[in-house]
Amino acid sequence: MSGELVTIFGGSGFIGKTLVEHLAKAGYRVRVAVRRPNNALFLKPLGELGQVQLAQANVRNRASVEAAVKGADIVINLVSVLYESGSQTFEKLHVGAAGLIAEVSKASGVKKLIQISSIGADEESASKYARTKARGEKLVKENFPEATIMRLSVVFGPDDSFFNKFGAMAKSFIALPVVCGESKMQPVYVGDVADAILNVMTNDSAAGKLYEIGGPKVYTFKELLEFVNKVTEQNVQLISIPRPLAYFQAFFLGMLPNPIVTIDQLRLLEKDNIPTGEQPGLNELGVEATPVEAVVPNYLIHFRPAGQFKIAS
């Protein structure tokens, strides 16, 4: 039991939930800074009584960030959005908030700061998501030079938005349009990401470093869709469509409240999403990577025609 206090921004999201569970098991006191604590009550039973606290914070509000960071030994920033809506912009969340959390953490005497970012973060990228992720990283380093940056490839796990989205689409549609099918990805298991973060927290030599976190195997996007097709036993046709048509569709789909795809996401998909091999990753953090095939079939089973109740023939 370390007893150190860890503040997690974005702890109510997909990766946050697994991370909170791992940190609580490791004996940390966890303060999860969330916009709506009432919607994050599911986190409290992940620890012992009182071990996981919820604090109200909006990373666009300095006073709430200061209050959430006060007294913390370690701060982890997981806040991000996949598309912009209203005041939830890439600029405010990926750049402004990342810089603010780093600045406030330094001023409060926080010992370690971990900034979670994405593979593909690049100030020159065609994607605004990737550009703002890179600018956020830069601001974090300016305000808190010993911060550790962890760039992730696509993350999978029971509540992921990647495999579940395509599983649901395979179940609902007779054909799936595929664009950038040749782009490479190296999916990493959410439990491995949480272990990697935990190891960064306990390893002083991780200070100031950049890690690129990918899984054990590289796939093309099309191979992953074929895998979803196989696991869900849906015989969906995968139809490669020309890029201009995909962008045309995304232009309209991107206007929906919870868009299935946006133009910015297509720009991101144009590039491979795999570690460069020039930075340390899971291996260096002592985490053995879990294969996609060992986990994903278990939670995509309910997208099969007869769900989990298929009678063995």
Ligand X SMILES: NC(=O)c1ccc[n+]([C@@H]2O[C@H](COP(=O)([O-])OP(=O)(O)OC[C@H]3O[C@@H](n4cnc5c(N)ncnc54)[C@H](OP(=O)(O)O)[C@@H]3O)[C@@H](O)[C@H]2O)c1
Interface contacts to ligand X, rule CB under 6 A = 9-10, 12-16, 34-36, 57-60, 78-81, 88, 93, 116, 118, 152, 154-155, 162
Nearest to 299 by CA among 169, 170, 159: 159
The DSSP symbol for 236 reads -
Is 102 or 154 the residue whose CB approaches ligand X more closely? 154
Give the span between the Cα atoms of 221 and 224, in whole angstroms.
Answer: 5
Is 14 or 304 the residue whose CB approaches ligand X more closely? 14
Nearest approach in angstroms of CB 104 to ligand X is: 13
Is 213 or 304 the residue whose CB approaches ligand X more closely? 213
Nearest approach in angstroms of CB 59 to ligand X is: 4
Task: Give the largest CA-CA distance in the chain.
Answer: 64
Q: Which amino acid is at 152?
A: L
Is 154 or 231 the residue whose CB approaches ligand X more closely? 154
The two structure tokens encoding residue 264: 């910015």
Give the span between the Cα atoms of 247 and 260, in whole angstroms.
Answer: 13
Is 9 or 166 the residue whose CB approaches ligand X more closely? 9
Nearest approach in angstroms of CB 13 to ligand X is: 2
The two structure tokens encoding residue 287: 């985490």
The two structure tokens encoding residue 46: 């992940």
Nearest to 124 by CA among 135, 138, 137: 135
Nearest approach in angstroms of CB 242 to ligand X is: 27
Nearest approach in angstroms of CB 22 to ligand X is: 14
Give the span between the Cα atoms of 61 and 224, in whole angstroms.
Answer: 39
Cβ neighbours for 173, distance < 8 A, ≥ 6 positions apart = 236
Is 34 or 224 the residue whose CB approaches ligand X more closely? 34
Nearest approach in angstroms of CB 29 to ligand X is: 19
Nearest approach in angstroms of CB 244 to ligand X is: 27
Question: Which residue is at the shortest CB distance from ligand X?
Answer: 13
Is 162 or 299 the residue whose CB approaches ligand X more closely? 162
Give the span between the Cα atoms of 41 and 35, in whole angstroms.
Answer: 12
Nearest approach in angstroms of CB 80 to ligand X is: 3
DSSP 19-82: HHHHHHHTT-EEEEEES-GGGGGGGGGGSSTTTEEEEE--TT-HHHHHHHHTT-SEEEE----S
Is 9 or 219 the residue whose CB approaches ligand X more closely? 9
The two structure tokens encoding residue 263: 């133009």
Q: Whats the size of the chain, residue-wise?
A: 313
Give the span between the Cα atoms of 59 and 178, in whole angstroms.
Answer: 36
